[in-house]
Structures are given as C-alpha cells and as structure tokens.
Structure 1
C-alpha cells in the first residue's frame, strides 16, 4: 500500500492568509479557500486539506491558543500537527480500532458523558443567575464563616537554658529593655521556638487561640494577659520532648471582628454558585424522575451475605 505525503509550501513572501492560486483567464476573481489545497496525502485513497479546513480547525481553538497560529510559521506548525493527527487516525482505523467493541464502548460512554454535561450546562449552569441581592442574602445566612478570629501578638524570649532564662528575666526586671535583651540573645543564636525569627527577633506575630496544641499553655497565658503585661516568672512550656523556658510581654490584642459584606463580596460568588448549582440539580432531577415515572423495587434486591453464610471450600472438603 502506498503512503505518500506531500505538503505544498508557498514562498516566504506570501503569508498563508493571502494564498492565491494561478488561475486561467476565463476565471474571474480570487478562488474560494476551499479550493486552495495546502496538503495532500495518500492512504487507501487520496486525502486533501484545504486552506478553509486549516483555518476552520484553528478557529475552533480557544482565543488564547489561536494567537500562536496567526503567522505563516504558526499555521505551518499547526498544519503539520493536523496532518500527523489525521495520519495516526487512519493508521488506527487500519489496525481495526474503529471496530473494536471495547474501544467503541468507551467512545459511547464518553459521548454519553458529553451529552449529559452539555444538557447540565443548559438546565443548570445557564439558569443560575447571581445578583447583588443573592450575594447579600448568602452573606447574611453565612456570616459566621466571615469572621476575623480574636488574635494576640507578643514579644517572646524562648530558651532551652533555664539558668540563662532566669538571668535574663532578672536583668529585665532590673530595668533592661526586653527588646534589647531579645536582640542580644538572637545575635548569640540561642533563641528557639516562638520569637526566634532572626529577621524580627522576639516578635511572635499575631496568632489565634488554636495556633498550637503543643504550646497551648503559652497561648492561653498570652490571651489572659493585659496589653503591656509581662511574665513575672520564667514560664515553663513542655513541647513534646523539649522544654521551653520563656519570658514574654503581650503587645497587641485584636478582638474578634465581623467582616463586612464589601470585604468578602469577591469571595462570595464561588460558594454561592456551588450552592445554587446543587439546589438546581436536585430540582431538575425531581422533574426528570417525575417525567420518567420512576419506580424502584428494593425488596427484590438480595440481602448481603454475612461472613457466617459464606462457604469455605477447604472446610467443606475436610468435612467430607
């Protein structure tokens, strides 16, 4: 069997979008793109690809992908890919895949899936309309979701060395600034745990009550303090196999705050659409069930086999 592939390439001075063919004098005007053959190949017959077909295949792509195939070079790349796809399809058909029952079953399943997806778009997606009113209603119904947690921030010195922690606390109580103390300890590289960030030593950053179950005692202690208050004794915190010796001062306290509608509005549309889609699907299915006059017969389903009822071939043979 002959398999011949011929690609006709026009000179570089002429772009694909303006391809013309030489016409006899008795033909008036430019010829239709469907008559401009840009590729011809033989595989159990002659196959041709016209310029109209090439442009239609490119036009079927997303706008983003189309941009890569607007130039002559881009169209030639797409043409090569299109030819490869068609040749592989012909080879697959020659191998009998177009008659393979397993393959055809999968193709049918995929076709059915596409049909259902398109119908769902029409019956569900295209009937969902989000308005300012529905967004506000969803916000009011789910206000608890959009709350800033109560948070605190502290300046913290965390050490493994108990004696060093006690000495540091005494120095601070004697008048040394806690920020100077934490900076010196950071430069020595002895800080660990909360407040040990070398970029901002001592600062724990804001944290909520559930930030760490491992250091819950420390978290609770900071929340219970007044802003500006500092530990009077070295605070001992067990963290798994380690023991932290800590000195900390509460710096800020942010109470729980309800986020406003305007703040969360950009984040409302997705969950609202998801909820509306779920509701619409259930409504649509109820209509389909009613139209289909559905009846089920659960009493005809066989009961599940219990382990005691399962037969063991080896035991049966031994009993015999």
Structure 2
C-alpha cells in the first residue's frame, strides 16, 4: 500500500503511515472517532498545527536553548529506558503448568471472600421488634410476612431479603450480628443501629475456603510474572554494575 503524503509543512511530510501510527497510539475509547474520515481530517489538521509550531520554535532559536536541549536529552533517555525494559521483560514468561504447581503448593493463599445472605425487619421501636421476634418464634408469623407488614426498609417488598454482602458493607452492629449466626438462625434480641431496631435472619453463608485454580489463574500468573521480572531486573542491575563503571561522588 502506497504511503501517501497527506500534507507537507516546511519541507516535512505528514503521511498516511504517520497518521495511522498516531491513531493507534491513542486510547481505545478515542481511537474509533479518529479512524473515521472526519476524525482523520481533524487529526491531520492537529499534526499540521504541531509542525507549524515546531517550525516557529526553530525560527526563534529554540534548538540552541540550553533548557530545551536538556529536556530533549532527558526525554530521549526516558524513551530509551522504556524501550530497553520492554524488550528485556517481554522475554520473561510464565507457563500455566508453573502456575498450577505454585497454586497446588499453597492453595490456602487464594481464598474467597467471606460473605452471607441475610434478611431483616427494620422498625423504630424496640418493643415492636421484640414482639415480632416472639411471633416469628411461635410460628404466629413467618419472617417474610412480618417483614412485608412491619419493616420500614425497602427490602420489605422482598420479605426483608437484603441479598448477598461481604464484611464492611453494612453498619458494624448489623454486620457483627449477621455474621455471627448460623444459616437459618434469627437474632434472639433486636439489634440497634443508627437506622432503628433490626430483627435479622442469616439465610446463607459462603466461607473463605480456597478458590479453584481457574478462578485465580490470572492472579497467580501475574504475581509470578512480577516476581520473576523483579528477580531478573535485580540480577541484571548487579551484572551491569560490574560491566559499566559507576562512581559515587561525595
């Protein structure tokens, strides 16, 4: 495919290839817009503006400005470092079999988050809450019916069901009571929080048992890759210090 020259600014060509490379360097969410005909034209105008300003910078003697040249030198060092590191680290990989061995040796390191499912009845009076507990325990009311009739929480429409949640997602008093109970157990006394008085029933529990390998494969492999890269980097720096002279000035 011909690398068409789209514009020339002060003797510098802006080609299709330059425009394509610039588009590919953009974030994915912006790239689609500039791939359109209108977007490409807009980006070309921006590149022309950059070259015009650069030409003016040369005209006013910026190429001989010490501060400018110092920043150019530092930028080149940064780019060279980045490209060198990418080239070095791209050679380091982790195989899935290696990750499986690490996981098998310490599956307890990869635990799921403890969570529960619970329902509640929220009222603003402690005596009402105690009365509801008594009626539910005596089977005069089901927990769900009591929630629908008496609870001031929007969850009343679902029989008080709050769904699944982990630690840190509810106020402390509520969380402590809900996590302390076994599945199917209800609080013997109302639990007071800033919102009122709760009658709580824990309906399901998920422990923090080890997760399966497939669930944590990415986590295991990423951690192993980071460790392996750091190990190689540390070793390389030591070797390079012996190869290239380093002098500390006091």
Q: Would the alpha carbon gap of residues 139 and 213 (structure 1) be closer, same or farther in structure 2, given more than 3 Å must change?
A: farther
Q: For the Cα contact (< 8 Å) 2:126–2:190, is it kept in 1?
A: no
Deviation of 1:180 (Å): 0.4
Q: Would the alpha carbon gap of residues 108 and 40 (structure 1) be closer, same or farther in structure 2, given more than 3 Å must change?
A: closer
Q: For the Cα contact (< 8 Å) 1:153–1:251, is it kept in 2?
A: yes
Consecutive unaligned residues in structure 1, runs of 5 or more: 1-16, 18-32, 42-46, 301-320
1:137 has 2:98 as partner? no
Q: Would the alpha carbon gap of residues 278 and 141 (structure 1) be closer, same or farther in structure 2, given more than 3 Å must change?
A: farther
1:204 counterpart SS class: strand
Q: For the Cα contact (< 8 Å) 1:151–1:253, is it kept in 2?
A: yes
Per the alignment, residue 227 of structure 1 pairs with: 183
> How many equivalent residue pairs?
244
Higher relative contact order (CA 8 A, sep 6+): 2
1:155 has 2:119 as partner? yes
Q: For the Cα contact (< 8 Å) 2:183–2:203, is it kept in 1?
A: yes
Consecutive unaligned residues in structure 2, runs of 5 or more: none
Deviation of 1:214 (Å): 2.5
Q: Which has the larger radius of gyration?
A: 1
Q: For the Cα contact (< 8 Å) 1:37–1:48, is it kept in 2?
A: no
Q: How does 1:109-188 map to 2 (within 5 A)?
A: 109-123=74-88, 125-140=89-104, 143-174=107-138, 175-186=140-151
TM-score by length of 1: 0.63
Separation in 1, partners of 2:231, 2:238 = 11
Q: Would the alpha carbon gap of residues 87 and 256 (structure 1) be closer, same or farther in structure 2, given more than 3 Å must change?
A: closer
Q: How does 1:27-42 map to 2 (within 5 A)?
A: 39=7
Deviations for 1:129-183, whole angstroms, at most 9, x for unmatched residues?
1211222234346633421244332322233311221232233234111100101
Separation in 1, partners of 2:21, 2:148 = 63
TM-score by length of 2: 0.78
Aligned-residue CA RMSD (Å)? 3.4
Q: Would the alpha carbon gap of residues 129 and 184 (structure 1) be closer, same or farther in structure 2, given more than 3 Å must change?
A: same
Deviations for 1:104-129, whole angstroms, at most 9, x for unmatched residues?
11111111111111111222x12211
Separation in 2, partners of 1:290, 1:231 = 69
Deviations for 1:3-26, whole angstroms, at most 9, x for unmatched residues?
xxxxxxxxxxxxxx9xxxxxxxxx
If each structure's helix is expressed as a fraction of its own residues, which one has the higher value? 2
